[in-house]
Structure 1
């Protein structure tokens, strides 16, 4: 880390076949942290080779039981009090790097975590509406004062004392999809995880919801969250979100009718005991 900071920072990243992203992610934080924890779930590409070339990286491997479970496990490997949690397809922009450094070098402050905005690049442009921005979430936090929670794969950090949270300037830049085909692949996978999780919790199929919820989702994204201001990409995001909602109910239908025991595109170790 540059300079002498009053606080030390760990960066936690989970990976699986992220050879196209991991280097840029590491590069965006290696000048503001003291260690980078990469928890990989047995990648078959060059993720491990790339990550372990960096002197700040401590590389671990383990089965992938779920997004929440994996990110909490990565936190456990961090040796410092303060942690910045990133996905491999995310980067800290220049403003965020400066804000983090200023905080680390500042006097003691009564705060347990900082919310950070995330800006996503998709279909050739930055998406500033459609419910995708600023989408602030806690990402910088004290190790013992926060935990990953949520319904897989839609995880988020929760502070034990929400009153001790603040907002940090800067953005996490999110390169979530290589193209629209990649988005559809992700939607297919994530909808399977949600359907499987909800069915395991006792959710049953509803024909009325399978019709109305996708329509409501399109209206929410395109009109209420002003997706139309994002141009054609905004329209496609709204349609894709609607399709994703439909898929969740369609897959719960398959499970509810016992046509399948588990969606075929979920990893075998996902959702198993740790």
Structure 2
């Protein structure tokens, strides 16, 4: 490890059947990390074999209670004061690696967390509008001053009151979907989680929201967030976002009116501590 460093860095990653992504993810942060925590939710593919081939990886396994809960559990395994949190389908680009390295070598630190932009590759191009970029969120933070919160699966880092945050140069590169079919599969899964979570918190079916919310979402993405500047992919993203919104309320109808116990595509261990 570079002798100029003034502080150490842990990288936290959660996984489930990520054999196609995990090598590139770890490789992108291997040179800047002092340790890499991989918390796996009982994968059945080669995720563990690939992850543990890196000497800096500390590998743990646990059932999946939810995105927020699992990411906070991964943080708890980290041994260093500063943590970079990534998903398995994300990578740190060259500019971000250089920025983090400079931060680790800096003499003084007058903040508790850094917001980092995320750039997503989808349908053959980098998506720079549609509300997908820059999506700056806290990803590099002091362990004692931050935690994951939000509505599963739409989680985010929140700093403690009084903490100071800054922005960091560079992007997290996000390879979220292999193709449009993969996006639809993800939308189907995530909408189930949202509906299940909201129902558990007391929300019930609304016909008016089911009718008008999807239309509003399309206008938001395609017009107000300039999705049309992303070309045809921007149009598909707007339609997919609208469809995702519809599915959330349709599945809430099943839970509320049809008394469905849970959507069939939610893992049986979901919600277990």
TM tier relative to shorter chain: over 0.9
Q: CA RMSD for the aligned pairs? A: 0.9
Distance in 1, Cα, partners of 2:105 & 2:124: 37
- Aligned position for 1:60: 60
Q: How far apart are residue 269 of structure 1 and its match?
A: 1.1
Q: Spell out, residue by residue over 1:6-48, the C-alpha distance to the aligned partner (whole angstroms, 9 max, x if none).
A: 0100000000000000000011000001000000011111000
Q: How far apart are residue 162 of structure 1 and its match?
A: 5.7
Distance 1:108 1:161, change over 3 A: farther
Stretches (4+) displaced over 6 A: none
5+ residue gaps, structure 2: none
Distance 1:134 1:56, change over 3 A: same
Task: Name which of structure 1's ranges 197-206 and 239-248 shifts more when overlaid on structure 2.
Answer: 197-206
- Aligned position for 1:216: 216
What are the residue-to-residue correspondences of 1:235-246 with 2, within 5 Å?
235-246=235-246
Is 1:87 aligned to 2:87, yes or no? yes
Q: How far apart are residue 4 of structure 1 and its match?
A: 2.8
Distance in 1, Cα, partners of 2:54 & 2:239: 41
- Aligned position for 1:19: 19
* Residues 150 and 156 in structure 1, CA contact (< 8 A), matched pair in contact too: yes
Distance 1:163 1:76, change over 3 A: closer
Is 1:47 aligned to 2:39, yes or no? no
Distance in 2, Cα, partners of 1:14 & 1:184: 22
Distance in 2, Cα, partners of 1:257 & 1:165: 44
* Residues 2 and 32 in structure 1, CA contact (< 8 A), matched pair in contact too: no
Q: How far apart are residue 160 of structure 1 and its match?
A: 0.2
- Aligned position for 1:191: 191
Distance in 2, Cα, partners of 1:202 & 1:79: 38
TM, length-normalised to structure 2: 0.99
TM, length-normalised to structure 1: 0.98
Distance 1:176 1:4, change over 3 A: same
Q: Spell out, residue by residue over 1:27-79, the C-alpha distance to the aligned partner (whole angstroms, 9 max, x if none).
A: 10000010000000111110000000100000000000000000000000000
What are the residue-to-residue correspondences of 1:130-149 with 2, within 5 Å?
130-149=130-149
Q: How far apart are residue 261 of structure 1 and its match?
A: 1.1
- Aligned position for 2:107: 107
Distance in 1, Cα, partners of 2:161 & 2:8: 22
Distance in 2, Cα, partners of 1:258 & 1:5: 58
Q: Name the SS of the counterpart of 1:129 in structure 2.
A: coil
Q: Spell out, residue by residue over 1:164-216, the C-alpha distance to the aligned partner (whole angstroms, 9 max, x if none).
A: 00000000000000100000000000000000000111111110110000000
* Residues 145 and 163 in structure 2, CA contact (< 8 A), matched pair in contact too: no
Q: Name the SS of the counterpart of 1:156 in structure 2.
A: strand
Aligned length: 273
Distance in 2, Cα, partners of 1:23 & 1:83: 19
* Residues 52 and 58 in structure 1, CA contact (< 8 A), matched pair in contact too: yes
